[in-house]
């Protein structure tokens, strides 16, 4: 301490000197204490200012302050984030007790919109916020997953329950025209750009790691979601997908304040996909065969017929081998202090989540230091350093969840010896798979008040994300029967400089604030990959002891981009009720050629606080606050590759049927010994005229508070167009040699309505309080322009095609429409010309027990031309409801979430049935096949059956092809997502323990889900809408925790 003090002596002395005049001319000395009305605990860090003078102070850790008053009839202005501001007439009192009331409506919260702080009540844009304490201690590695159902228009969906994995996060619908792509919003962490779209690891075998694992969720003070262009346009080229601002906790009080928080819990071994096992499986399958008149019993697999053979009469639980109860542990510790000369906050987080699938985990250690210094009266230097060390492991490491896929998932008849079981489980945990991430996010900022109302800021930010993975694949689990070692090294390094000037002034009824600035950004991505095959020396698990040649392969990759920006924003308000704001930003990106380089992004918005008008006075008793606002603006996106304007050449000389032999790694690259080089015709042709995508957006909204602010309602209508969106899989003319070409080729629109309703359901005087937050968003998206005269664009493999069609949502499923099952052969339509029954693609005719596919074009042939659009993977309605009950120190909060309108492609059912439909005799035994319980699905067995699906016993017409409308299911769900229970110990007890505060809490997460879909979890489908059913399950979690303030 003394050492630190010595260093701070000079500024401290300076500050004392600056205070000297006030000491000399002190008139009235006032002291006071600020407490939270609800908990009756002191609130440190509250700003107390004297109205009409420049002086002010903040409360210390005991909530106390002193102030020398100088004006006659002094009034105090008391404000603190999250509480209602107050103006208090001092009168002749010299001691004040001030009670703060929580600001439920949040109108006075400050939102940092692009280099400016703006009070929420005065924003003209669509901004939604979540408080850090609402998501505190939820047992997830990343905060994005905690936001499901909390913000209207922010759709958050998990695709995997794997610790630290990526999900689908969209603000006001998807902007991705790439099948399976996710248009993640732009994250801004304490002013530092954190663009996960530009950060996702390339193919390093780490699959799905979410870069947000770098951020400790418990460090978050608040999250603001900027949804419309007025707020996001200042982020220009990066704002198209919406912007999520994250503010971390800042020091508040004078003396060092210490907090420790710990929670522990379990992720429950997930409920397995329901499946019949053992005798029940055999009985079910045999009954089905008998009933359907199966006639090949002689050849039936012994797995089914020989029920006495110990090799096949087991009831092995295949899923159970790979699932487990897993532990979750989290610890946070922090110390912070604020003073006039300096302030700091240091926090450390340790998070350790084990996988409910064996061999998976995610561990994080992330210290965070914020330091702010005032070396001079007008100068502030702040340093923000957020390093994060993340380590993950993914089972065997080759991307598979189970060693078998859904297609041929083994039946329970198989015998698994304890040794085999141990081997299966060991394979998932004992291989070297060192997948380490090091994230360093940092910022240094200099702020100088150049003159009255004029502040200059220079900020330097840096993101350094390194992922290194060392992976060893032992012979025992390697299908190539050799020991292989792999090394991946991924580095993303980005720096950004921003200089800007803020000027703000209030002149009578006019209030103006302006920011003008410039910025420059540079990013380099580096990637090294090395692979060594056939390691022979025992114990070696990295690429060692391999001689040059076919067993050794390496490649390295380096790419770089840069950007220059100019930006400005103006806010003007008149009489604090007429609000106007505009912003303009100009960005140049190195991705585009010099004449297409600059993009202009701008916005204009206006707001009118009607409730401040004199004529509104009579209604004000009921309507306390009413604001209308509207905005229009253009944001952008530059999603193309770093060198998309250059036509890439390739050295690939491989040809159809060519081989280097024996799984030799690397490519054939020469013709008769000469290395070849030519344009990469197999990749989409480059487009030298490629440029920015732009997203014009209109938003009209209102905010209204009713009945003493007990009801607050926010409603928005918006329409956001994607213009000139980049696409690279458009069919090229064959004469160009290219298969596909790229360009700014697609337009689409996302439009919808968002409603947020907050209510306090009980009178404010009651000790029991019940608050409800309900939010819902309706979004519709459809394509408005496609290249080549709006020709449909087809994506996906031949059997799973999804299309972009003008007027339709993105990526509708193309399937054959199914209308039941043919009861008898005679029901199949017959071609009057040939007298033959309807066929599958000119081949086998349809018959009894086959699905009735609609022959759309009436050619008595079911082929690709008969496919129709059938739903899409976009969530059309999303929302959530939080009910919070508090009574004295107790609190209970329940979050339920829902989505509607999303369709999924049920690969689980399709694959299960396909896998055993080829040959019943041989596959019904060893494969689980129809033994899975598909939530009561019924199959046609004999004439007269009215079943959902066709007969399991024949498959002449590829009836389990996933492109059947019966496999497109409603993915809507309602989920009880989270219950939080907490108890704050009374101040008396806390005092007794000589600590500042004590809270215990518990959490239940993913309590249940309701849905009509037959897949194991309707949320776990990928961005393209496909569910394999073999995905990593989303477990239930239970935790208990303790939070102590010292």
Please state the closest distance from residue 801 (CB atom) to other proteins, in A.
Answer: 7
Please state the closest distance from residue 383 (CB atom) to other proteins, in A.
Answer: 17
Query: Near other proteins by CB under 8 A, which window of 40-48, 88-96, 590-598, 696-704?
Result: 590-598
Concatenate the DSSP letters of all residues of 233-266 into one string. Answer: GGGGGG-TT-EEEEEE----SSS-EEEEEEEEEE
Q: Does 798 contact other proteins by CB under 8 A?
A: yes
Q: Does 6 contact other proteins by CB under 8 A?
A: no
- Whether 461 and 474 have beta carbons less than 8 Å apart is answered as no
Q: Does 462 contact other proteins by CB under 8 A?
A: no
- Whether 625 and 105 have beta carbons less than 8 Å apart is answered as yes
Query: Near other proteins by CB under 8 A, which window of 101-109, 141-149, 464-472, 789-797?
Result: 789-797
Looking up tokens 């694992």 gives 213
Q: Does 834 contact other proteins by CB under 8 A?
A: no
Nearer to other proteins, 457 or 611 (CB): 457
Concatenate the DSSP letters of all residues of 694-738 into one string. Answer: EEEEEEEEEEEEETTTTEEEEEEEEEEEEEEEEEEEEEPPGGGS-
The distance from CA 680 to its chain's CA centroid, rounded to whole angstroms, is: 34
Tell me which of 497, 570, 755, 877 binds other proteins, using CB under 8 A.
497
Nearer to other proteins, 423 or 564 (CB): 564
Beta bridge partners of 713: 704, 757
Tell me which of 842, 843, 858, 918 binds other proteins, using CB under 8 A.
842
H/E segment holding residue 840: strand 839-840
Please state the closest distance from residue 678 (CB atom) to other proteins, in A.
Answer: 4
Q: How far is CA 653 from CA 666, 681, 1044, in A?
A: 11, 12, 65
- Whether 34 and 100 have beta carbons less than 8 Å apart is answered as yes
Angle of CA points 53, 123, 701, to nearest 5°: 150
Q: Does 739 contact other proteins by CB under 8 A?
A: yes
Phi and psi at 943, nearest 5°, equal: -50, 135
DSSP 575: T
Half-sphere exposure of 664 (CA within 13 A, CB side): 10
Tell me which of 559, 617, 933, 943 binds other proteins, using CB under 8 A.
559
Query: Near other proteins by CB under 8 A, which window of 425-433, 638-646, 832-840, 872-880?
Result: 638-646
Q: Does 677 contact other proteins by CB under 8 A?
A: yes
Q: Does 741 contact other proteins by CB under 8 A?
A: yes
Beta bridge partners of 335: 258, 346
H/E segment holding residue 533: none
Burial class (CB in 10 A: 0-12, 13-18, 19+), 709: middle
H/E segment holding residue 330: strand 326-338
Tell me which of 736, 857, 938, 1012 binds other proteins, using CB under 8 A.
736
- Whether 634 and 694 have beta carbons less than 8 Å apart is answered as yes
Query: Near other proteins by CB under 8 A, which window of 309-317, 645-653, 917-925, 989-997?
Result: 645-653
Tell me which of 518, 891, 922, 1045 binds other proteins, using CB under 8 A.
518
State the binding string over 561-580 for other proteins (x if CB under 8 A, else -): xxxx----------------
The distance from CA 90 to its chain's CA centroid, rounded to whole angstroms, is: 49
Tell me which of 425, 449, 511, 650 binds other proteins, using CB under 8 A.
650
Six-digit token pair at 762? Answer: 């009980």
Q: Does 45 contact other proteins by CB under 8 A?
A: no
Query: Which of positions 845-884 make contact with other proteins (CB under 8 A)?
Result: 863-864
State the binding string over 598-627 for other proteins (x if CB under 8 A, else -): ------------------------------
Q: Does 20 contact other proteins by CB under 8 A?
A: no
Q: Does 538 contact other proteins by CB under 8 A?
A: no
Q: Does 943 contact other proteins by CB under 8 A?
A: no
Q: Does 759 contact other proteins by CB under 8 A?
A: no
Q: Does 660 contact other proteins by CB under 8 A?
A: yes
Q: Does 520 contact other proteins by CB under 8 A?
A: yes
Please state the closest distance from residue 969 (CB atom) to other proteins, in A.
Answer: 23
The distance from CA 830 to its chain's CA centroid, rounded to whole angstroms, is: 52
Tell me which of 385, 455, 580, 676 binds other proteins, using CB under 8 A.
676
Q: How far is CA 419 from CA 278, 384, 416, 691, in A?
A: 21, 52, 8, 59
Q: Does 70 contact other proteins by CB under 8 A?
A: no
Length of the chain: 1046
Tell me which of 297, 678, 766, 890 binds other proteins, using CB under 8 A.
678
Nearer to other proteins, 53 or 522 (CB): 522
Count of C-beta atoms within a 10 Å radius of residue 558:
10
**Please, what sign has the CA dihedral across residues 896, 901, 902, 903?**
positive
Nearer to other proteins, 297 or 799 (CB): 799
Tell me which of 9, 377, 688, 836 binds other proteins, using CB under 8 A.
688
Q: Does 643 contact other proteins by CB under 8 A?
A: yes
Nearer to other proteins, 52 or 842 (CB): 842
Nearer to other proteins, 274 or 842 (CB): 842
Nearer to other proteins, 279 or 450 (CB): 450
Looking up tokens 């204490």 gives 33
The whole-angstrom separation of Cα 1017 and Cα 1019 is 5
Tell me which of 448, 831, 859, 945 binds other proteins, using CB under 8 A.
448
- Count of residues in contact with other proteins, rule CB under 8 A: 82
The whole-angstrom separation of Cα 927 and Cα 931 is 9
Q: Does 549 contact other proteins by CB under 8 A?
A: no
Beta bridge partners of 731: 740
Q: Does 731 contact other proteins by CB under 8 A?
A: yes
Please state the closest distance from residue 681 (CB atom) to other proteins, in A.
Answer: 5
Count of C-beta atoms within a 10 Å radius of residue 1022:
20
């Amino acid at each position: 301490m003394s050492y630190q003090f010595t260093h701070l002596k000079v500024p401290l002395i300076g500050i004392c000197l600056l205070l000297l005049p006030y000491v000399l001319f002190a008139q009235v000395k006032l002291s006071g204490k600020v407490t939270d009305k609800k908990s009756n605990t002191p609130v440190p860090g509250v700003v107390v200012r004297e109205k009409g003078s420049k002086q002010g102070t903040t409360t210390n850790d005991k909530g106390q302050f002193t102030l020398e008053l100088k004006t006659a009839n002094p009034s105090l202005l008391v404000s603190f984030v999250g509480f209602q501001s107050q103006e208090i007439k001092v009168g002749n009192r010299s001691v004040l007790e001030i009670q703060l009331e929580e600001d439920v409506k949040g109108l006075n919260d400050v939102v940092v919109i692009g280099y400016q702080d703006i009070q929420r009540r005065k924003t003209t844009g669509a901004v939604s916020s979540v408080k850090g304490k609402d998501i505190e201690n939820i047992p997830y590695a990343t905060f994005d997953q905690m936001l499901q159902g909390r913000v209207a228009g922010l759709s958050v969906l998990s695709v995997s329950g794997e610790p630290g994995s990526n999900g689908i996060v969209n603000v006001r619908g998807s902007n991705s025209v790439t099948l399976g792509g996710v248009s993640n919003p732009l994250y801004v962490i304490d002013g530092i750009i954190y663009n996960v779209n530009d950060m996702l690891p390339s193919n390093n075998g780490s699959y799905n790691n979410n870069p947000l694992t770098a951020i400790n969720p418990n460090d978050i003070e608040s999250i603001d979601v900027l949804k419309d262009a007025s707020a996001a346009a200042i982020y220009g080229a990066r704002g198209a997908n919406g912007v999520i601002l994250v503010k971390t906790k800042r020091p508040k009080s004078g003396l060092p304040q210490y907090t420790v928080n710990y929670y522990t819990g379990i992720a429950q071994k997930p409920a397995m996909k329901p499946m019949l096992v053992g005798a029940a499986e055999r009985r079910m399958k045999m009954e089905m065969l008998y009933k359907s008149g199966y006639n090949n019993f002689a050849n039936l697999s012994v797995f089914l017929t020989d029920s006495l053979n110990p090799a096949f009469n087991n009831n092995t639980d295949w899923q159970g081998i790979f699932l487990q109860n897993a532990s979750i542990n989290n610890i946070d510790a922090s110390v912070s202090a604020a003073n006039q000369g300096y302030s700091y906050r240091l926090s450390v987080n340790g998070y350790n989540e084990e996988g409910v699938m064996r061999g998976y985990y995610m561990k994080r250690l992330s210290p965070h230091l914020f330091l702010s210094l005032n070396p001079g009266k007008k100068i502030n230097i702040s340093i923000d350093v957020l390093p994060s060390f993340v380590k993950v492991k993914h089972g065997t490491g080759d991307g598979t969840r189970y060693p078998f896929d859904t297609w041929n998932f083994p039946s329970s008849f198989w015998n698994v010896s304890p040794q085999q079981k141990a081997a299966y489980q060991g394979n998932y945990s004992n291989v070297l798979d060192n997948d380490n991430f090091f994230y360093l996010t940092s910022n240094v900022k200099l702020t100088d008040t150049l003159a009255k109302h004029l502040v200059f800021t220079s900020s330097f930010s840096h993101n350094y994300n390194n992922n290194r993975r060392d992976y060893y694949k032992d012979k025992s689990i390697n299908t190539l029967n050799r020991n292989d070692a792999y090394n991946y090294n991924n580095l993303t390094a980005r720096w950004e400089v921003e200089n800007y000037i803020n000027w703000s002034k209030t002149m009578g009824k006019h209030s103006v604030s302006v920011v003008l600035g410039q910025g420059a950004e540079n990013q380099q991505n580096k990637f090294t990959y090395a692979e060594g095959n056939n390691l022979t020396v025992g114990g070696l698990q990295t690429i060692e002891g391999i001689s040059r040649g076919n067993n050794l392969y390496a490649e390295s990759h380096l790419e770089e981009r840069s950007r220059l920006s100019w930006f400005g924003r103006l806010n003007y308000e008149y009489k604090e009720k007429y609000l106007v704001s505009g912003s303009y930003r100009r960005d140049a990106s190195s991705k585009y050629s010099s004449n297409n380089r600059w993009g202009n992004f701008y916005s204009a918005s206006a707001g009118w606080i009607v409730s401040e008008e004199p004529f509104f006075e009579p209604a004000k008793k009921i309507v306390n606050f009413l604001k209308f606002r509207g905005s229009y603006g253009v944001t952008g996106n530059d999603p193309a590759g770093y060198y998309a304007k250059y036509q890439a050449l390739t050295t690939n000389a491989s040809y159809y049927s060519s081989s280097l032999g024996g799984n030799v790694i690397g490519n054939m690259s020469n013709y008769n010994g000469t290395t070849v080089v030519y344009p990469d015709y197999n990749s989409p042709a480059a487009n030298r005229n490629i440029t920015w995508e732009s997203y014009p957006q209109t938003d009209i909204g209102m905010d209204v508070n009713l009945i003493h602010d007990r009801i607050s309602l926010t409603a928005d209508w918006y329409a956001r167009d994607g213009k000139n969106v980049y696409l690279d899989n458009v069919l090229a003319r064959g004469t160009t040699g290219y298969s596909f070409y790229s360009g700014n080729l697609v337009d689409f629109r996302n439009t919808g309505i968002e409603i947020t309703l907050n209510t306090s359901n009980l009178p404010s005087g009651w000790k029991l309080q019940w608050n409800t937050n309900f939010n819902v968003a309706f979004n519709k998206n459809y394509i408005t322009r496609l290249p080549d005269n709006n020709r449909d664009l087809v994506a996906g493999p031949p059997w799973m095609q999804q299309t972009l069609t003008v007027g339709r949502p993105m990526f509708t499923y193309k399937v054959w429409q199914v209308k039941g099952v043919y009861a008898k052969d005679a029901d199949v339509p017959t071609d009057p010309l040939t007298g033959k029954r309807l066929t599958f693609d000119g081949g086998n005719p349809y018959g009894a027990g086959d699905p009735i596919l609609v022959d759309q074009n009436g050619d008595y042939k079911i082929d690709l031309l008969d496919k129709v659009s059938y739903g899409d993977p976009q969530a059309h309605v999303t929302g959530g409801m939080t009910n919070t009950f508090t009574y004295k120190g107790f609190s209970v909060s329940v979050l339920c979430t829902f989505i509607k309108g999303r369709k999924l492609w049920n690969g689980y059912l399709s694959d299960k049935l396909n896998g055993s439909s080829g040959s019943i005799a041989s596959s019904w035994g060893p494969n689980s096949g129809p033994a899975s319980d598909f939530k009561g699905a019924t199959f046609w067995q004999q004439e007269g059956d009215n079943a959902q699906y066709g007969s399991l016993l024949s498959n002449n017409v590829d009836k389990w092809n996933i492109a059947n409308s019966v496999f497109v299911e409603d993915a809507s769900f309602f989920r009880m997502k989270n219950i939080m229970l907490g108890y704050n110990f009374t101040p008396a007890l806390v005092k007794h323990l000589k600590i500042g505060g004590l809270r215990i809490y518990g959490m239940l997460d993913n309590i249940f889900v309701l849905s009509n879909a037959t897949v194991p979890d309707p949320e776990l489908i990928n961005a393209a809408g496909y569910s394999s059913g073999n995905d990593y399950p989303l477990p239930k979690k239970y935790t208990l925790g303790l939070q102590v303030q010292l």
